[in-house]
Structure formats: structure tokens, C-alpha cells
């Protein structure tokens, strides 16, 4: 019964341990006309992050919920689970709910503001099997990894550094372990790419963002969030040594893949 209640809470909210959202937590960062500069994960973003990501990324809540399910299937005894680019720790927390106490969860982000808010939201929970680190995932050591999550993080890493990061992750994983890689995609076919972008913008408008907010956010993410094609991601994962690479979620230009070692 308790397990059902907690699973239901996670399905309804990927941030179950944060207080209910009010106006203060609404993403209005691009609501007024402004000189747009490159997007950064500072405290203004961290403060409205749950609202921002749920209104911007189609399927975010479903993906977080299912990462818990994947962790319950793939986490191995005495192994480590990683949430790389954890923001407020939604994936780390859902994994923690679903794995045995002997499995450690390591959540990493290089934004001090994200980590500070993540730490605060976790303060009442026992942190025994959770290690929260403020560091660059490019220097995170990966070892005994059974579940590694890059949930919309790789897209913010310089493309030239992506292959070595994936290779390092592969090397630090146990046989049978999985990497969950969620990304915004680009498509080779211009017509299809444009259609996916427009459907995504329609999704954002349906969630209350204005055309001005959508345009200014798009400008802020230019050269900061660099999407690649599905082929590029799949080839990189195979080149790193992953045996099975498959798509398990897609909504418009947002996907999640699993790669099994």
C-alpha cells in the first residue's frame, strides 16, 4: 500500500519532495523583452527548474518515472548508479526509491545553485546511499556502474568531448549495466526537423509559454544546447562498445535511449 502511494506520488510529480509549486516557482525568465545572453544554470533557473522542465520537455515526468523502473530492473548488488547532470536530482531520487539499500546513487552537477537547491530538498531524507557532488561530469570517475543516467545532459557537453565521455562511462560500467541517454534531437531531413520544432513549440504554447518566451529561450540556447541526430548518438554508443542500443521513448524531437553493456 505504501509502495503504491509512493509510486503514484512519483507518477504525478517527478519532484515529490519539493513543496507544491506557486507563483514564485513559475518560469517567467523570458516573459519580458530582454537582451538575451547564453543560457546558464544559475539560481534563477534552479528556482523555477521543476516548472520549466515539465512545461518544456515533453514526456519528462514519464521518463523520470520509468528511470525508476529501469533502475529496479538493472541495478546490481554492490554496484553504483549515477545521475550525471542531476539538476535537482529527480532521476537520482526515483532510482533511490527503487533500489536496494546496498546500492549507492551518485548524483553530479557542475551548477552550484542546482546542487545547493538539490541538497536542501533532500535535507529531511536519510542520505546514507546518496552521494551528491558538485563537479564537472567530464572529471567524474565512474566505477561499478550498473545504471548510468544522462537525462538531457549530454546535449550541453561540447560535441568534441562527447565520445570520450561516453567511452569513460562504458569503461566504468559492469557487464549487463545500462546507460539511459535522453536527448533533444536534430533530424537530417529539413522538413521533418522543422515539423518537430513546430510541434515542440506548440507543446510549449499549450503549456502557457508565449511566442516571445519561446523565441527568447530558443536564442539563449543557441550554441549552448547542441542537438545531434539519432544516428550520431547510436553510432557513438556502438563505437564505445555498447552491445545493444535502442530507443525506448520518443515525443517529437525528445528521445530517450537505453544502451546495454
Q: Which is nearer to ligand GEK, 29 or 176 (CB)?
A: 29
Q: How far is the CB of 102 from ligand GEK (least distance, A)?
A: 24
Q: How far is the CB of 60 from ligand GEK (least distance, A)?
A: 7
> Looking only at residues 112 through 171 of this chain, which bind ligand GEK when binding is defined by CB under 6 A?
114, 136-138, 151-153, 156-157
For residue 48, state whether it binds ligand GEK (rule: CB under 6 A).
Answer: no
Provide the grid cell at 151. Answer: 537525462
Among 110, 193, 229, 234, binds ligand GEK (CB under 6 A): 110
CA distance 14 to 50: 8
Burial 74-83 (b: 16+ CB within 10 A, else e): bbbeebbbbb
Q: How far is the CB of 35 from ligand GEK (least distance, A)?
A: 22
Q: How far is the CB of 188 from ligand GEK (least distance, A)?
A: 23
Q: Which residues, including other chains, have CB under 8 Å from residue 152's CB and lie 6 or more apart?
A: 53, 57, 85, 182, 183, 184
Q: Which residues, including other chains, have CB under 8 Å from residue 25's CB and lie 6 or more apart?
A: 47, 48, 50, 51
Phi, psi of 112 (to 5 degrees): -60, -35
Residue of this chain nearest to ligand GEK (CB atom): 85
Q: Whats the size of the chain, residue-wise?
A: 261
CA distance 186 to 84: 22
For residue 249, state whether it binds ligand GEK (rule: CB under 6 A).
Answer: no
Q: How far is CA 76 from the centre of its chain?
A: 22
Among 7, 26, 41, 186, binds ligand GEK (CB under 6 A): 41
Q: Which is nearer to ligand GEK, 69 or 189 (CB)?
A: 69
Q: Which is nearer to ligand GEK, 79 or 153 (CB)?
A: 153
Provide the grid cell at 215. Answer: 523565441
Which residues make up the interface to ligand GEK (CB under 6 A)? Answer: 41, 53, 85-87, 90-91, 108-111, 114, 136-138, 151-153, 156-157
Amino acid at each position: 500500500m505504501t509502495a503504491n502511494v509512493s509510486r503514484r506520488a512519483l507518477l504525478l510529480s517527478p519532484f515529490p519532495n519539493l513543496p507544491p509549486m506557486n507563483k514564485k516557482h513559475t518560469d517567467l525568465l523570458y516573459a519580458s523583452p530582454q537582451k538575451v545572453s547564453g543560457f546558464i544554470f544559475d539560481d534563477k533557473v534552479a528556482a523555477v527548474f521543476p516548472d520549466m522542465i515539465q512545461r518544456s520537455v515533453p514526456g519528462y515526468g514519464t521518463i523520470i518515472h520509468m528511470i525508476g523502473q529501469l533502475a529496479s530492473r538493472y541495478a546490481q548488488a554492490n554496484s553504483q548508479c549515477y545521475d550525471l547532470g542531476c539538476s535537482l536530482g529527480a532521476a537520482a531520487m526515483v532510482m533511490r526509491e527503487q533500489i536496494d539499500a546496498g546500492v549507492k546513487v551518485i548524483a553530479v552537477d557542475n551548477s552550484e545553485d542546482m546542487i545547493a537547491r538539490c541538497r536542501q530538498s533532500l535535507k529531511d531524507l536519510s542520505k546514507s546511499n546518496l552521494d551528491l557532488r558538485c563537479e564537472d561530469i567530464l572529471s567524474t570517475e565512474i566505477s561499478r556502474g550498473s545504471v548510468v543516467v544522462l537525462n538531457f545532459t549530454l546535449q550541453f557537453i561540447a560535441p568534441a568531448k562527447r565520445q570520450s565521455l561516453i567511452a569513460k562511462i562504458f569503461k566504468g560500467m559492469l557487464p549487463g549495466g545500462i546507460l539511459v541517454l535522453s536527448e533533444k534531437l536534430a533530424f537530417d531531413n529539413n522538413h521533418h526537423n522543422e515539423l518537430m520544432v513546430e510541434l515542440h513549440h506548440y507543446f510549449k504554447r499549450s503549456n502557457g509559454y508565449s511566442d516571445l518566451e519561446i523565441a527568447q529561450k530558443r536564442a539563449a540556447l543557441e550554441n549552448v544546447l547542441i542537438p545531434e541526430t539519432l544516428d550520431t548518438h547510436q553510432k557513438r554508443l556502438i563505437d564505445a562498445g555498447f552491445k545493444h542500443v535502442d530507443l525506448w521513448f520518443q515525443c517529437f524531437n525528445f528521445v530517450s535511449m537505453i544502451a546495454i553493456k
